[in-house]
Amino acid sequence: MPNIRIPTPLRAFTSNEAQVQVGGATVGEALSNLTVRFPELRQHLYDGETLRSFVNVYLGDEDVRFLDGLETNLEEGDSLRIIPSIAGGAG
């Protein structure tokens, strides 16, 4: 199953799990399954049916927007990563 890495700011919505294994043949299916398992995540990732503009999802080292977006095919053991927008500089 694909593996999704959850960034720190969103772990509050995944019972503090940093990595989540979910089923799904495409990026969209995997993210959708993720939000079924953790419903609180949905509003942070999606605006209706599309990903919010500040949510960056990467497959390997590539932004899925530059692959096939939510239609991008996933293979067994693929690693998805949600890249958070963080601003801390420890002022």
Partner 1 sequence: MKPIVSDLGDLSNDEIRRYGRHLIMPEFGMEAQRRLKASSVLIVGTGGLGSPLALYLAAAGVGRLGLVDYDIVDESNLQRQIIHGQSTVGVSKTESAERRLNDLNPFLEIVRYDVPLTSDNALEIIAPYDLVIDGTDNFPTRYLVNDACVKLGKPNVYGSILRFEGQLSVFYAQEGPCYRCMFPEPPPPGLVPNCAEAGVLGVLPGTIGTMQATEAVKLLTGIGDPMIGRMLLYDALEVSFTTIKVRKNPKCPVCSIPADQVELIDYEEFCGVPAHDHAPAEALSTAEEAFDADAPVPQITALALKARLDQGESPVIIDVRNPPELEIAALENTVLIPKPQIMIAVDEVLSGRKPIEDTVIGQIPRDREVLFLCRSGVRSTDVIYALRDLGYHPASLINVEGGILAWAREVDASMPMY
The binding site for partner 1 (CB under 8 A) comprises 7-9, 12-13, 39-40, 43-44, 53-54, 56, 58, 61-63, 66, 81, 83-91
Indicate the residue among 69 and 84 with the shorter CB distance to partner 1: 84
Rounded to 5 degrees, φ, ψ at 73 are: -75, 145
Toward partner 1, which CB reaches closer, 1 or 11?
11
- Element holding 31 (H helix, E strand): helix 27-37
Q: Which residues contact 50 (CB under 8 A, 6 or more apart)?
A: none
61 or 75: CB nearest partner 1: 61
